[in-house]
């Protein structure tokens, strides 16, 4: 299985649908995101939203949150979710024990 990762620059119907499918797998308390909410995530100056695709299907998302600090900019990863259908022992790009930050995510250029 080939996984491609990319930075998202705009809210699309495809992305809204992907969040509708993926977010419940992350949290049973998370409210569904409409187009406006997804656009707010994508356009926030403190967020970089990445998606993972298998073929034409978004199978995962990762939000990189950046903060300016006196010692320099910092970033942390939030809300990583990978579709259960894309997980499994033969899906080497996804490793829960490594906190999802495997090669596919690490090699995505965000700047």
Kindly write down the DSSP assignment for every residue of 24-59, as one continuous string. Answer: HHH-SSPPPP-HHHHHHHHH-TTEEEEEEEETTEEE
pLDDT band with cut points at 50, 70 and 90 for residue 88: low
What per-residue confidence (pLDDT) applies to 71? 92
Within a domain: 59: yes
Within a domain: 30: yes
**Which neighbouring-strand residues pair with 78?**
63
Q: Provide the CATH number for the domain around residue 19.
A: 3.40.630.30
Note down the domain range covering 54: 3-106
Within a domain: 82: yes
pLDDT(96) > 70: no
Within a domain: 111: no
pTM (2 d.p.): 0.77
Name which residue leads in pLDDT, 111 or 95.
Answer: 111
Within a domain: 32: yes
Classify residue 65 by its DSSP letter: E
Structural domain count of the chain: 1
Within a domain: 28: yes
pLDDT tens readout for residues 38-76: 999 999 999 999 999 988 999 999 999 999 999 988 888
Within a domain: 39: yes
């Amino acid at each position: 299985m080939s996984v491609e990762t990319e930075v998202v620059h705009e809210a699309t119907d495809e992305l809204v649908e992907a969040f509708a499918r993926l977010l419940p797998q992350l949290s049973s308390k998370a409210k569904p995101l409409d187009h406006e909410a997804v656009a707010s995530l994508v356009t926030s100056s403190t967020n970089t939203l990445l998606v993972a695709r298998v073929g034409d299907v978004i199978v995962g998302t990762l939000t990189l949150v950046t903060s300016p600090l006196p010692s320099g900019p910092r970033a942390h990863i939030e809300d990583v979710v990978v579709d259960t259908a894309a997980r499994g022992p033969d899906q080497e790009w996804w490793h829960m024990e490594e906190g999802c930050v495997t090669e596919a995510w690490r090699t995505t250029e965000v700047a």
